[in-house]
Amino acid sequence: MNIIHYSKNGKFSEEILENAKDVVIAIDSQCISVHQVTLPKMSKSKAHKAIPFALESQLLDEIDDLNYTFLKSLTQNIWDVFVISKETLENIENQLFKVKCNPVAIVPDFMLLPFSEGNINYYEQDGFIKFRSATNQGGCLASKNFHALFADSNLIKADFFYSSDNKVNIQTSNSPKGVSGYLSAWRIPAAIALIALLLATSQIGVKNNQLNKLLLLQKNDNETRFLALFPEVDRVVNIRAQTKQNLSEAAEKDSSYQNDLLGKLSSEVMPNSKARKIIFENQMLTLEVSK
């Protein structure tokens, strides 16, 4: 199986040949966020509609600009959700369409790491670590943050490989290949599922704690960057709404400062006129005015 990586810069790790077969596209984990959502008991279709709104406060982009891949957890009423921007995913699919390549799967790269209960499998490169912490959980962290978060975990270095047991496959809803073109069938016998559920139950508390720590770490990082950009803000309440508000206020101040300067120059140079434009050329300042 030929694993071709897609970077956060929008580039493939190697050229995809026309009509290439047995290709797996591994999307950089930095392009994808992974979440667990607990919902009341409801149908799959209703859950799929509800999950984006349940995640809205955790997402920096508008929910309509994102693509969601839903996986029902073995734990009752819990969903694993992969979120990626529609723009990124459509860019991948457009490039594949041009070379007539129908990949076996499009997956987050951390899902190509092995998973073993009680261990954290990881791959390190260029100061970042891709890791898999549960069946459908993982991501990418700076090396320092990774080792701080999983200091008490059993860490195992691993490499990427694709298994036919993989049940994650990301696609856009309007993909011309349709669901059957990307999603491979996945059926687990009831007896195996029940055993897995019983084994997994004891790990839920630990995994949820790790996920909460990971989410808190990312949240703190986002807030630190926000406060660095807008030091006049005392407290972060809703980072997306506050960002829009501060950008709007900055644009108004810029316009106001410009108008104040033009007004001051008008009153000093030609009191009965209104300055429209300032031109500084060849060490000469020229003021365009209108009466």
Helix, strand or coil, per DSSP, at residue 193: helix
- In this predicted structure, what is the pLDDT of residue 110? 92
CB 125 within 8 A of CB 186: no
Pick the CATH number of 2-188 from 3.30.420, 3.10.450, 2.60.40, 3.30.43: 3.30.420
CB 38 within 8 A of CB 121: no
- In this predicted structure, what is the pLDDT of residue 159? 93
CA–CA separation, 111 and 138 (whole Å): 8
CA–CA separation, 110 and 160 (whole Å): 8
Residues of the chain with confidence (pLDDT) below 50: 173-188, 202
- In this predicted structure, what is the pLDDT of residue 182? 39
CB 72 within 8 A of CB 46: no
CA–CA separation, 237 and 251 (whole Å): 22
**Close Cβ partners of 291 (under 8 Å, ≥ 6 residues apart):** 272, 273, 274
Give the angle subtended at the CA of 225 by the CAs of 7 and 233, to the nearest 5°: 150
Q: pLDDT digit string (tens) for 213-264? A: 777 787 778 888 878 888 888 887 777 788 888 888 877 776 666 666 666 6
Angle between helices 204-229 and 239-269 (to 10 degrees): 0
- In this predicted structure, what is the pLDDT of residue 187? 45
CA–CA separation, 154 and 178 (whole Å): 40
Domain ranges of the chain: 2-188, 239-290
φ and ψ at residue 141, rounded to 5 degrees? -135, 155
- In this predicted structure, what is the pLDDT of residue 108? 93
Nearest to 164 by CA among 24, 70, 14, 5: 24
Q: Return the bridge partners of 23, or none.
A: 2
CB 104 within 8 A of CB 96: no
